[in-house]
Amino acid sequence: MSRLSTTVAGVFSYASLGLAILFGAHCAIAQQTSQAEAAKRSDLLAHAAQVRAQRIRKLAGPYAQQVVADARFFHLQPQLVASVLYVENGGDFAGSAHRISQAGAIGPMQLMPVTATLLSVNPYKPRQNIRGGVRFLRKMLNRFHGNTQLALLAYNEGPTAVSEGNRYAQAVAYAEKVVRVWKGGSGLK
């Protein structure tokens, strides 16, 4: 090899070495940046989960753990279930375990006796009442192909009435209020 080709080869090897060092430094910086972004993302997700948990506790009161467990079991959003519970009780959970509405609905999720019987739950036992209410909400969502508005109408006025096209003003107001509470809007005490 001639002196010129040796010199050129040396220059290229120094240039390659320099590029390798720059590339390595760039990779290290990129890795640090991605680790910092991942940490920030993780912190944001943890904060969001904490906010959701606080909101569910506010909406479901003493039934929050039961609501979360049953909502997950039936593949529903816990905040939706908590919103139904909140609206059904007007935000007042004192005595809700044995509350009976003027229409005859019973307990925290305000199950009608016929519905409770069909779901094989004792509406006077809060755990069964909530489990039955969540299961009924899941059935309504399935029946109305995931349409939350129709499912909430059916939860309140009955699936037959909704299927027949009936839209009672009280049930419409109920469904709208649940959605407002669920989406974080007004409707909370």
132 belongs to a structural domain = yes
Q: How many CB atoms lie within 10 A of CB 168?
A: 14
Whether 26 is covered by a domain: the verdict is: no
Confirm whether 176 is domain-assigned: yes
Q: Are 178 and 110 in contact (CB under 8 A)?
A: no
For the domain that residue 79 is a member of, what is the CATH number?
1.10.530.10
For the chain, percent of residues with pLDDT exceeding 70: 80
pLDDT 10s digits, 123-135:
999 999 999 999 9
Assign 31 a pLDDT band (cuts: 50, 70, 90): confident
Residue 88 appears among annotated catalytic residues: yes
Instruction: Please check whether residue 166 lies inside any domain of the structure.
Output: yes
Instruction: Write out pLDDT tens, residues 71-116.
Output: 999 999 999 999 999 999 998 888 888 899 999 999 999 999 999 9
pLDDT in tens, 42-55: 777 776 777 778 88
> Structural domain of residue 109, as residue ranges?
61-182
The stretches of the chain forming alpha helices (DSSP H) are 3-60, 64-73, 78-89, 113-118, 126-143, 148-157, 159-163, 169-182
Which one from 88, 157, 164, 176 is the annotated catalytic residue? Answer: 88
Q: Other C-beta atoms within 10 Å of 145: how many?
A: 8
Confirm if 78 and 85 have CB atoms less than 8 A apart.
Answer: no
State the pLDDT confidence band at 8, using cuts at 50, 70 and 90.
Answer: very low
114 located within any domain: yes
In a domain, 133, yes or no: yes
pLDDT at residue 185, rounded to an integer: 65
Answer whether residue 7 is part of any domain.
no
Q: Is residue 157 part of a domain?
A: yes
Rounded to whole angstroms, how far apart are CA atoms 53 and 83? 13
Predicted TM-score (pTM) of the model is 0.75
Confidence of residue 4 (pLDDT cuts 50, 70, 90): very low
For residues 111 and 101, what is the distance between their CA atoms, to the nearest angstrom? 10
Domain count across the chain: 1
